[in-house]
Structure 1
Amino acid sequence: MKRQSFVLLLIAIYGSAIGQEKWSLKRCVDYAVINNISVKQADVQARFDKLTHHQSIMALYPRINSQHSGGLQFGRSIDPTSNQFTTNEILFANHGLDVGLDLFNWFAKKNTVKANNYLAQASVARLEKAKNDVSLNVANAYLAALLNKEQINISQVQVDQSREQFNNIKKQVDAGALPELNQAEAQTQYATDSSNMITARTNYILSLLQLKALINLEADIPFEIEVPPVESIPLETLAELDPALVYQSALEHLPQQKINNLNLLASERNVAIAKAGMYPTISFFGGLNSRYSNAQKIIPRDYAITAAPSGLVNISGQDYIVYSEARIPQGFDKNTYFRQLSNNFSQNAGLALNIPIFNGGSARINWQKAKLDVENQQLLREQDSRTLKQDIYQAHTNAVAAIQKYNATQVAVESAQKAYDFARKRFDVGLLQPIDLILNQNNLFRAKINLVSAQYDYVFKMKLLEFYKGLGLKL
């Protein structure tokens, strides 16, 4: 009972996909390129590196900063406007504007801009690589789903044949022409083929789930793929996919090679940046400042010059008053906020020379590390190029083997079909036992499955070579 329920569930799931809008490989790839998580992460990193490059460009311009502060000062302190000691509470405010510009730093900033530009371009190429990787994985999963769907069709034919044979043998057994053993053997074969059908449908549903996971489509969304005729899938000939030519094309078109070249250029710029850190730099600075204090609430409007007694002097026993000039305030004005800012306004400008003398050897060591990084990038590029060449030649060898296997399985299917046809004719006239017919039927079934598998394997391996060549993926 449980097995029957499981079969009904599979049939219901499989049947629900029928009638839905079908997805082509192009649609699957396009959807994956937009929605796949790894592609989205690569896109975020590319935008991040683009901002880093833009930031290094903005660092070429002068630095301008404005500072503003205010507070309450109490206890014995210095009046910030009169510079005198006081014990009064003072409400103060300070305002400033600073400007700085690097005049000469051995082109460190310009090299930083170029290095970040190379890294930003490498991130764009890395995004393209992520798209290519996802596209290749989607194509592989799509072809696997097509293979599983084709196996369903082959299994269905096998089930139909087994059911027909079982019904025929059962009639002959009921008529007494054949023993019951033949009916049991035919029934066993019918059950086995039905089980194979269930397995084929299960594998197809699982392959669709895997494909939906790659393109980041929810598992519960109805999904069905188009089934293009395998024979109509465009393929280049092996002569056009010579491994040496494919390798040269891959060096120019594949994003990984662009990434390695751009990373190498960036590391060479980093050497110049690190070297600049060992030399003096010249920069310009300037500033505007002013301040306010409520301790200086009023200021004299004018001064009157008068003689005021300042002491006594004794001459021959006679005291005389000594007068000195004194400035007497004549009226007062309020020392307002903006008046203080105007009266206390100051400016400064100058040049600064920074000479690195000894900083724990960090500048020189950074320079040496940068040179080692160039060597590492060169080795990485060489390693990836050799790996790419090895992969292409291996893919070409696999493609040749896949063609040969496909041709061999075609012959095997033709032979198995002839053997089955002869066995069926002999069985129909009573010259062959049912078990022998079943054996020939199984041989034909396996040969057809092997043919479909070899055909899709051949198509994928040829498409892989086309991908390396830079032709993309087309079905």
Structure 2
Amino acid sequence: MAGAQQKWDLRQCVDYALQNNISVRQTDLQARFSELNFIQSKAGQLPSLSLGGSSGFRLGRSENPTTGVLEDNNFFNLGMQVQSGVSLFNWFAIKNNRESSRLSWEADKAQTRKIMDDIALNVAVSYLQTLLAREQVKVAAVQVDQVRAQLRDTRKRVDAGILPELNAAELEAQLARDSASLITAETTAAQLLLQLKAVLNLDAAVDFDIATPPVDQIPVDPLAELQPEVVYLTALQMLPQQKVNRLRIEAAQKSVLAAKGRLYPSVTAFGSLSSNAIRFKKEIYNQVLTGYNTTGARVNAGGVFFPVEVPSFKQGDNIVGYFRPDGLGRQLNANFGQSVGVGLNIPVFNGRTARTNLDRSRLQVQQLELQLEQGERQLKQDIYKAYTDAVAALQKYEADKKALTTAEKSFSFASKRYDLNLLSAFELINSQGNQQRARIQALYSKYDYVFKMKLLEFYKGQGIKLQ
């Protein structure tokens, strides 16, 4: 995305940082986890439904699933069932759990926005620091050019015998010092640009540069519109962190209600449909008469008692047919069963789990309320401090501008006196140094004032903008 021909403004830098920052992606993943929890908790209000089936072979003596009789037979069995259940009333535990999950999801989304705002602020700070460093490079370069021009003019006058060699030597020494200051300023600017790359999570080897808007063109709201109490009240409603704290409290309160509902009896309804069938083929053998056996009973026939006998058979060796059960369809229809009912669950004792969960939920609410109170107090302190700093920065900037004007006039007079040989090179260099320090201080004060104002605008929920 970055190229040597393209210079990024603050908006592009912030957009790139938000798209590539690992913290943003991590918090976004957490929000997606919370969304899944909410979807799951919402589905918990719906009836459950399950379909099941089984099939297999049974060998040897086993129970016939269609008759319940133990038989010595090998057969294939098939079973199918449908089960469903629904919570009829649980003191709104499921509903409150769903609301708690929804509020937690909203809190995590707001937390993502909070992280994004923090990153945008960090990018803006690094961006402004880089702009300030570049302005300092320009000031140092102007200083070097001025001293170099003075040295050329002085050298001519020394060669003409108008000024002593000492004047040229002092200016050469000053040029060396100013050149070193320029190199230091350029190094600092390069390091800050590299630091900005790190903030953007941009590879250090990528060609990258930023747009340099004149500091005087950076829009700043009037200080009168950024009164601390007004900014604070706006921040309570606008800043994501405050929204995160409030949402987490609401989610915890719903968790308390859900935990409380689990202490009371719950009513459920259930129902099921089932059927089964078997399939086998059993041989039918012929029967061979082996004789007659008396039963011990007698019958009276004309006064004569005769014993009662029954024929006795044994299984022969010839298969005369096969026995098979009805078809699967008829069996499934004949064995089709239904059940429906209502269940009542009364929690009596469960190791104090439910009561402990309720107590934990209540403590969690208290902890979050304390965090909210602490956060609001800290926010108010930060805003009032930012306002005080902005007022002080404005006053210092105004004073430094006056000091710069005075230093420039002083240097102008000194230059004229030097041209008339009424001032030594040392005195000229001293006057020029005063002007240089005043110029750098005024520049620093200007950027410091802009940043302090941008921080107040950030607290007011306006974001960070330089254009």
Alignment of 1:289-328 (within 5 A): 289-294=274-279, 296-297=280-281, 311=295, 313-315=297-299, 318-321=306-309
**CA offset at residue 98 of structure 1?**
1.2
Tell me the SS of whatever aligns to 1:228: coil
- Tell me the distance in 2 between the aligned counterparts of 1:111 and 1:224: 52
**Contact kept? 2:41, 2:97, Cα under 8 Å:** yes
Alignment of 1:34-433 (within 5 A): 34-74=19-59, 77-85=62-70, 90-174=75-159, 180-294=165-279, 296-297=280-281, 311=295, 313-315=297-299, 318-321=306-309, 332-333=323-324, 335-433=326-424
**CA offset at residue 184 of structure 1?**
4.0
**CA offset at residue 368 of structure 1?**
1.6
- Tell me the distance in 1 between the aligned counterparts of 2:146 and 2:127: 29
- Whether 1:459 aligns to 2:459 is no
Paired residues, what number? Answer: 446
Q: 1:421 to 1:83 in 2, by over 3 A?
A: same
- Tell me the distance in 2 between the aligned counterparts of 1:93 and 1:331: 21
Runs of 5+ consecutive residues of structure 2 not aligned to the other structure: 285-291, 312-319
Which amino acid letter does the alignment assign opposite residue 375 of structure 1? Q
**CA offset at residue 103 of structure 1?**
0.6
Provide, for residues 46-66 of structure 1, a one-character-per-residue CA deviation record: whole Å limited to 9, x for no partner: 222222222211111100112
- Tell me the distance in 2 between the aligned counterparts of 1:18 and 1:341: 74
- Tell me the distance in 2 between the aligned counterparts of 1:440 and 1:299: 125
Q: 1:233 to 1:96 in 2, by over 3 A?
A: same
- Tell me the distance in 2 between the aligned counterparts of 1:28 and 1:274: 46
Provide, for residues 382-414 of structure 1, a one-character-per-residue CA deviation record: whole Å limited to 9, x for no partner: 111111110110000000110011111111211
Provide, for residues 109-134 of structure 1, a one-character-per-residue CA deviation record: whole Å limited to 9, x for no partner: 11112112211221222122122112
**Contact kept? 1:285, 1:352, Cα under 8 Å:** yes
Q: 1:186 to 1:76 in 2, by over 3 A?
A: farther
- Tell me the distance in 1 between the aligned counterparts of 2:294 and 2:423: 149
Alignment of 1:426-441 (within 5 A): 426-441=417-432
- Tell me the distance in 1 between the aligned counterparts of 2:383 and 2:20: 29
Which amino acid letter does the alignment assign opposite residue 98 of structure 2? V
Q: 1:170 to 1:68 in 2, by over 3 A?
A: farther
- Tell me the distance in 2 between the aligned counterparts of 1:34 and 1:121: 21
Provide, for residues 299-332 of structure 1, a one-character-per-residue CA deviation record: whole Å limited to 9, x for no partner: 99xxxxxxx9994623465212469xxxxx9985
- Tell me the distance in 2 between the aligned counterparts of 1:347 and 1:232: 80
**Contact kept? 2:281, 2:322, Cα under 8 Å:** no
Q: 1:321 to 1:226 in 2, by over 3 A?
A: same
Between 1:346-355 and 1:452-461, the stretch displaced more is 346-355
Which amino acid letter does the alignment assign opposite residue 54 of structure 1? I
- Tell me the distance in 1 between the aligned counterparts of 2:3 and 2:71: 92
**Contact kept? 1:107, 1:273, Cα under 8 Å:** yes
- Tell me the distance in 2 between the aligned counterparts of 1:473 and 1:103: 52
Runs of 5+ consecutive residues of structure 1 not aligned to the other structure: 1-16, 301-307, 324-328
Which amino acid letter does the alignment assign opposite residue 282 of structure 1? V
Q: 1:88 to 1:201 in 2, by over 3 A?
A: farther
- Tell me the distance in 1 between the aligned counterparts of 2:330 and 2:148: 107
**Contact kept? 1:299, 1:333, Cα under 8 Å:** no
**Contact kept? 1:409, 1:450, Cα under 8 Å:** yes
Between 1:261-270 and 1:224-233, the stretch displaced more is 224-233
**Contact kept? 1:147, 1:456, Cα under 8 Å:** yes
- Whether 1:28 aligns to 2:19 is no
- Tell me the distance in 1 between the aligned counterparts of 2:417 and 2:3: 40
Between 1:382-391 and 1:339-348, the stretch displaced more is 339-348
The residue aligned with 2:316 is none
**CA offset at residue 27 of structure 1?**
2.4
The residue aligned with 1:14 is none
Which amino acid letter does the alignment assign opposite residue 346 of structure 1? G
The structure having more radius of gyration, on CA atoms, is 2
**Contact kept? 2:278, 2:325, Cα under 8 Å:** no
Between 1:206-215 and 1:337-346, the stretch displaced more is 337-346
Tell me the SS of whatever aligns to 1:356: coil
**Contact kept? 1:101, 1:283, Cα under 8 Å:** yes
- Whether 1:443 aligns to 2:434 is yes
Provide, for residues 40-87 of structure 1, a one-character-per-residue CA deviation record: whole Å limited to 9, x for no partner: 222222222222222211111100112233445456544444444456
Q: What is the CA RMSD across the aligned residues, in angstroms? A: 2.9
- Tell me the distance in 2 between the aligned counterparts of 1:207 and 1:86: 89
- Tell me the distance in 1 between the aligned counterparts of 2:74 and 2:446: 93
Q: 1:204 to 1:416 in 2, by over 3 A?
A: same
**Contact kept? 1:96, 1:290, Cα under 8 Å:** yes
- Tell me the distance in 2 between the aligned counterparts of 1:229 and 1:322: 124
- Whether 1:470 aligns to 2:461 is yes
Tell me the SS of whatever aligns to 2:463: coil
**Contact kept? 1:118, 1:263, Cα under 8 Å:** yes
**CA offset at residue 274 of structure 1?**
0.8
Tell me the SS of whatever aligns to 1:389: helix
Provide, for residues 198-224 of structure 1, a one-character-per-residue CA deviation record: whole Å limited to 9, x for no partner: 222222222222223333333333222
Between 1:69-78 and 1:20-29, the stretch displaced more is 69-78
